[in-house]
């Protein structure tokens, strides 16, 4: 594609993404579907753009998107919500991951001729949910705060489980040696130490933030510091995703920490991000999310229809199994509406896409099958999630189907899917900030006129 034409296309996409979001809010047709269609049209359908054109930049772009979304999403997590969500998060993460790994492993074994280890490697690869899809999605849905937090945290924690178990199974395949004890140790250490790195980074940054703001054009320095924390954690062999999540959470709840010992030596007070900085993070996430979904559409592969159908079959099976995962793991005080929404939000994403390419690179027998089927599962899982959310408030038969299995959860008064989305865009921090700025300017002008009269 010509460079000038590419620039024009990028500009049009940015305009369209805002239109799709407005259309999403008014009609409840997910904007993700439109972005996917654009990606599929310019990618596998007309071959205008191919994933090979991006080279290594493609992987860097998806990782940056993940870091931004985890950080920005964690800025909305408060300690009070975490206290009520941690048990539900742990249960749904563990139940969903191991159930998925078992179901996909068995389906892969019987439908593909893969060996048992390679089949469960495929299961571990798609065992989690995608932060890049889940976090922006749940922010636009009318759900309880605890339910939203569970889904957001699950997407981060299961990414860690996917990475550790998929790589461990790969090592077992290569060397014929598998140790459950060392595997569990890797999960715990990666989670705890990755979290500690994120907390430590946030504490340091909370003391530096006030001085950083005196530097011109410093708005991007906070995400730059998050990149450093993420990269350092990954280089140390821990979870960068958990570090980014812990960084944002700590910075948001910085007022809950006791700094009396530190205050004896440091005069500055720890602070968090202001409204303008939060609005800036939100704008960046919106832009990255837009191009990520188009990139996923470009990455869609239609070379082997049978593998595509296997991916669809596995995705449908996972959506059905998810109902029982939610039934036995969601907190008992979860509303039925929230439980149904938790059952249909099962998108796969970045971690699965990255892990899917490793078996092929390492020469695993059936590596091409693992990569192609994983991409198929990713695409279909995101599309099915979008379609089901769209149908929940339009087709009573869909919500009734889920309600039959989730009847143990209480139906709250006046609860339904007629207000599944916020009917109007929620109050935007950016707009609030600018209203305050305009008011401040007006007050200064009035005071100036008053002083002149005096």
Does 286 have pLDDT greater than 90?
A: no
Kindly indicate whether the domain formed by 32-423 is annotated with CATH number 3.40.50.2300. no
Secondary element (H or E) of residue 31: helix 31-40
Q: Is 141 helix (H, G, I), strand (E, B) or coil?
A: strand
What residue has token string 């993420």? 230
Q: What is the pLDDT of residue 264?
A: 56
Q: What is the pLDDT of residue 436?
A: 46
pLDDT digits (tens, 9 = 90+) for 63-82: 788 788 778 878 877 787 77
pLDDT digits (tens, 9 = 90+) for 330-378: 999 999 999 999 999 999 877 787 788 778 777 888 888 998 899 889 8
Are the C-beta atoms of residues 285 and 72 closer than 8 Å to each other?
yes
Domain boundaries, the chain: 32-423, 429-454
Hey, CA dihedral for 146, 31, 273, 237, is it positive or negative?
positive
In angstroms, the CA 325 to CA 27 distance is: 30
Task: Name which residue leads in pLDDT, 163 or 249.
Answer: 249
- Averaged over 23-37, what is the pLDDT? 75
In DSSP terms, 421 is beta-bridged to 141
Instruction: Please report which confidence band the pLDDT of residue 59 belongs to, taking 50, 70 and 90 as the band edges.
Output: confident
Q: What is the pLDDT of residue 188?
A: 76
pLDDT digits (tens, 9 = 90+) for 384-409: 998 898 898 788 999 999 999 999 99
Does 300 have pLDDT greater than 60?
A: yes
Which are the contacts of 231, defined by CB distance < 8 A and separation ≥ 6?
Answer: 240
In angstroms, the CA 96 to CA 123 distance is: 11
Residue-wise DSSP of 365-419: TTHHHHHHHHHHHHHHHHHHHHHHHHHHTT-HHHHHHHHHH-TTS---TT--STT
Are the C-beta atoms of residues 75 and 248 closer than 8 Å to each other?
yes
Hey, CA dihedral for 404, 405, 410, 416, is it positive or negative?
negative
E strands, 295-375, where? none
Q: What is the pLDDT of residue 314?
A: 94
Distances, alpha carbon 339 to alpha carbons 193, 324, 418, in Å: 32, 11, 16
Q: Is 303 helix (H, G, I), strand (E, B) or coil?
A: coil
Q: What does pTM read for this prediction?
A: 0.75
Instruction: Please report which confidence band the pLDDT of residue 12 belongs to, taking 50, 70 and 90 as the band edges.
Output: very high
In angstroms, the CA 384 to CA 84 distance is: 29
Does 281 have pLDDT greater than 90?
A: no
């Amino acid at each position: 594609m010509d460079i000038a034409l590419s620039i024009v296309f990028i500009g049009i996409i940015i305009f369209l993404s805002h239109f799709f979001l407005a259309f999403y809010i008014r009609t409840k047709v997910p904007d993700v579907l439109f972005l996917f269609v654009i990606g599929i049209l310019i990618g596998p359908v007309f071959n205008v753009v191919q994933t090979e054109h991006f080279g290594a930049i493609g992987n860097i772009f998806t990782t940056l998107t993940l870091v931004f979304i985890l950080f920005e999403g964690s800025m909305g997590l408060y300690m009070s919500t975490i206290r009520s969500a941690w048990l539900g998060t742990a249960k749904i993460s563990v139940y969903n991951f191991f159930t998925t790994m078992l179901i996909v492993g068995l389906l892969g074994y019987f439908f593909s001729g893969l060996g048992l280890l390679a089949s469960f490697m495929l299961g571990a690869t798609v065992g989690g949910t995608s932060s890049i899809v889940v976090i922006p999605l749940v922010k636009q849905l009318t759900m309880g705060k605890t339910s939203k937090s569970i889904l957001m945290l699950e997407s981060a924690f299961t990414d860690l489980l996917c990475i550790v178990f998929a790589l461990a199974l790969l090592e077992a395949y290569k060397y014929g040696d598998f140790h459950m004890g060392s595997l569990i140790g890797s999960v715990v250490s990666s989670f705890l130490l990755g979290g500690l790195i994120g907390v430590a980074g946030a504490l340091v940054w909370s003391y530096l933030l006030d001085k950083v703001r005196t530097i011109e054009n410093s708005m991007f320095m906070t995400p730059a510091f998050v990149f450093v924390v993420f990269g350092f954690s990954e280089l140390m062999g821990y979870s960068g995703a958990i570090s980014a999540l812990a960084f944002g959470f700590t910075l948001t709840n910085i007022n809950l920490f006791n700094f009396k010992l530190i205050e004896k030596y440091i005069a500055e007070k720890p602070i968090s991000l202001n409204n303008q900085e939060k609005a800036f993070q939100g704008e960046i996430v919106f832009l990255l999310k837009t191009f990520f979904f188009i990139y996923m559409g470009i990455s869609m592969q239609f070379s082997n229809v049978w593998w595509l159908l296997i991916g669809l079959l596995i995705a449908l099976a996972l959506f059905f199994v998810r109902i029982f995962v939610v039934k036995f793991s969601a907190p008992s005080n979860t509303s039925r509406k929230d439980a149904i929404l938790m059952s249909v939000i099962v998108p796969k994403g970045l971690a699965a896409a990255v892990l899917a390419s490793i078996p092929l690179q390492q020469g695993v027998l059936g590596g091409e099958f693992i990569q192609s089927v994983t991409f198929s599962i990713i695409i279909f899982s995101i599309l099915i999630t979008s379609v089901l959310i769209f149908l929940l408030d339009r087709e009573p038969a869909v919500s009734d189907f889920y309600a039959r299995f989730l009847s143990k959860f209480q139906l709250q008064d006046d609860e339904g899917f007629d207000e599944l989305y916020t009917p109007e865009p929620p109050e935007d921090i950016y707009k609030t900030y600018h209203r305050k700025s305009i008011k401040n300017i007006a007050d200064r002008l009035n005071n100036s006129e008053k002083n002149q009269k005096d």
